[in-house]
Structure 1
Amino acid sequence: MTAGEEGSALWPSSSARDDWDSTMQGIDESARSRADLESNLNRRTRPVVRLAAKAALVLVVLTMVLGPVGCGKPVVEFFPVLAETAQGYPLSSARGRLVVEGGCLRLRSLLPAFGFFFGPSQLLIWPNAYTTRIDGQSTLVLDGKGTVVARVGQIIYVGGGQITREAAATSIEGNLPDSCHGPYWMVNPHWPGRD
């Protein structure tokens, strides 16, 4: 083998090099066009992904708000009432949705910025002689005369005011369970529309 023949055996011919270069160029162009395609897909799918994320958030919020409605009747395990008629009642007012959480009847406040009732809640301490009754799928609150004053799931407006845990624990019938945590709201039986 001569030096020229040896060199041609070790190095590809110019046509092979051209084939190699065109193959590499094709791969390079393919990678660039794939990157362009992915970029275009990202630009086109971003609004869809954002919309899907918003829809998922709405679904989560609706599940939180409406979830208890579709799960059968909530069970009130503890209904705190004053052991005796109070000498006087606080004169503030509160508005919210009457809900059952952890077996306790609570007033769930409205978060005005969102328009949903999933703000903070307060355990309601009801006046003496108030009771609850199950009516179909609803839990009703009745006053001492047997008149329905509230229904679980209903938006209500109540008079009264916040009291401490100690005041709640010493003024109710029975013991205050740990599951029925504060804040505590003593309901005034003479709230507007009740007399």
Structure 2
Amino acid sequence: SGDLHVTKKEEGYIMDFPLNPPTRVEPNDFKDTIKAAVGNLPVQEVLFCYNTKKLLIRLADSCDISALTNLKVDTVALENTERSGRFCAVIVTMKGSPDCQPGYDFYSRDFSPWVGVPEDPVTGSNHTVLGSYWSEKLGKKKMLAYQCSSRGGELELELRDDGRINIAGQAITILQGTIKL
């Protein structure tokens, strides 16, 4: 993402990222990976973000949140479906329930065994892709998202007119410093 600018706000932090729009792809080109990631769940759309090397699988709107939260992914089998280095993560997403409280616009999970992370609990970089995708689908520039890992995390997204996205959420500082290269 280049320089990562983070600003403290009252109840968390705002990260400033470049927006990374995904491109629709042919699902058959990724059928083994899709099967390993979501099994027999119905898939509405498959996209790929060439900037971030992330495959985006959108579950059909007929799925409810339990389909995503109860999803059991064998990340070793998932990793074995792709050995060429073509991508580094699979994002599984579904439309949210804005009418429910707190009204999430979309949900997601991240599986990145190719980079040593079986499941990332809350992933800022994924939301640069998800924010672009769901903004177009929902016609919104401000969204509330929830990543459904076992730890879980809520993120507030705001697409900016300069091709960037603000991603806000809770965090704790475990290390502080400056690195000069």
Normalised to the residue count of structure 1, the TM-score between the two structures is 0.19
Larger relative helix fraction: 1
Larger relative strand fraction: 2
Larger Rg: 1
Normalised to the residue count of structure 2, the TM-score between the two structures is 0.20
